[in-house]
Amino acid sequence: MPVRISFAGKGGTGKSTLSALLVNYLIDKGLNPVLAVDADPNANLNELLGEEVSITLGEIKEELRKSVPDSMARYDYVEMRLHQAIIEAKGYDLLVMGQPEGPGCYCAAHSFLSQALEKLMRSYSYLVIDNEAGMEHLSRLNLLEMEHLIIVSDASYRGIMTVGRIADLIKALNIKVDNLWMVVNRCPQNLPEELKRYAKEIAEKHSLKLLSFLPEDPKVLEYEAKKIPVFEWKDSPLKKEAYSAFERLLNS
């Protein structure tokens, strides 16, 4: 199985940006092949990577729930559609989960898709998952064990408090994580010492490792507005500091 690294956090903390930067980092270090999975219903990881999405795993599940061609075994059909959903890029592939399921029973569809995904993931060195705060998609992907889970906060007391709540949720869902990390993102240049101390207190209370305080980068808004993928971000303070954090994580 690949080294599995997942990002979580409430909306607007920059976890999708950090997921994309991690994919970029792994490719730059020659640690590919990488499979990136956008497991956030508000999917935008593909935009940060500069890719277009034609089909999501959610759409495949919907197809399976309704019908499959009579000429094909159901598992063979799932494998075929899964490979059609893979966005192949230089050094990495991308899969997008899409919106949650609608009404009706998806049990059989989920079972077939989970089996095909587990087989697929064995082909990669690293798996990077951009997840939602609620963590539901991890169970849908059968990803209940991973090496690293990074919970991202913005530079606020409420955001850091939410990190602790997500950490408790992870434990309640019986997700096995070897290393549970906290990242405080979008930090102003003069970050108050009181907030730093609070982050350290929350990390200690919830058995988190405090990985980094990442800087606010005004260039990110410009890059995203112009749809410039992370691979082309030059002289970005965030990218530089994120790379240093990823180096510490993989050497931990």
Please answer whether residues 108 and 115 qualify as being in contact, where contact means their C-beta atoms are separated by less than 8 angstroms.
no
Cα(20)–Cα(238) distance, rounded to whole angstroms?
A: 12
The predicted pLDDT at position 75 comes to: 78
Average pLDDT over residues 179-203: 97
Q: Which residue has the higher pLDDT, 245 or 57?
A: 245
Residue 81: other Cβ atoms inside 10 A? 19
Rounded to 5 degrees, what angle do the CA atoms 170, 1, 27 make?
A: 95
- Provide CB contacts within 8 A for 226, sequence distance 6+: none
For residues 208-235, average pLDDT: 94
Segment 111-147, tens digit of pLDDT: 666 777 888 888 999 999 998 766 665 656 667 789 9
Domains of the chain in start order, with CATH, are 3-250 (3.40.50.300)
Report helix angle 74-85 to 107-121, nearest 10.
60
Give pLDDT, residue 248.
Answer: 97
214: left (phi over 0), alpha (psi -120 to 50) or beta: beta
Cα 111 off chain centre by: 22
pLDDT, mean of residues 173-192? 94
Average model confidence (pLDDT) across the chain: 88
